[in-house]
Amino acid sequence: MDLQFEGLLEKITDFIKTEAKTETVVGEQFQLGEFMCVPVIKVGMGFGSGGGEGTEAKGRKGEGMGAGAGVGIEPIGFLITKGDEISFLEAGKTHGLAAAFEKVPDLIEKLAENRRKDKEMA
């Protein structure tokens, strides 16, 4: 059986090299006022393969193989530069006042629920 795992692995690796880039997932770096913003991604991958051959008692031969790969790509944030300063801003995480405003609807709902309970008990 001619299992060409090296060639298959090379093709998969080449595909990941061309597709798993910030430019194809998030976009190019950009200028925002005095700040240069560079997107950052996280890439995870896994590979699996197997093959075998055999002969039955009746003399029939068989062989088979299989391979698979999975890639996960996730934007995780931005490198932000201004002059000679650099910092990292996480994607999906809110900080400070923005985080407080995101919690306002939950707080209003809890207050309304507590008032309903108080009225029911009175």
Q: How much is the pLDDT for 14?
A: 84
54 contacts 62 by C-beta, under 8 angstroms: yes
State how far the Cα of 26 lies from the Cα of 39, in Å rounded to an integer: 7
pLDDT in tens, 102-111: 666 676 777 7
How is residue 26 written in tokens? 């998030």
pLDDT in tens, 84-98: 888 888 887 665 555
- Give the domain ranges of the chain: 5-91, 92-122
**Prediction pTM value:** 0.49
State how far the Cα of 83 lies from the Cα of 86, in Å rounded to an integer: 8
pLDDT in tens, 3-52: 576 787 788 778 877 877 777 767 788 888 888 888 888 888 887 878 88
Q: How many CB atoms lie within 10 A of CB 122?
A: 5
Q: Is the pLDDT of residue 101 over 70?
A: no
Q: How much is the pLDDT for 102?
A: 63
Q: How much is the pLDDT for 112?
A: 78
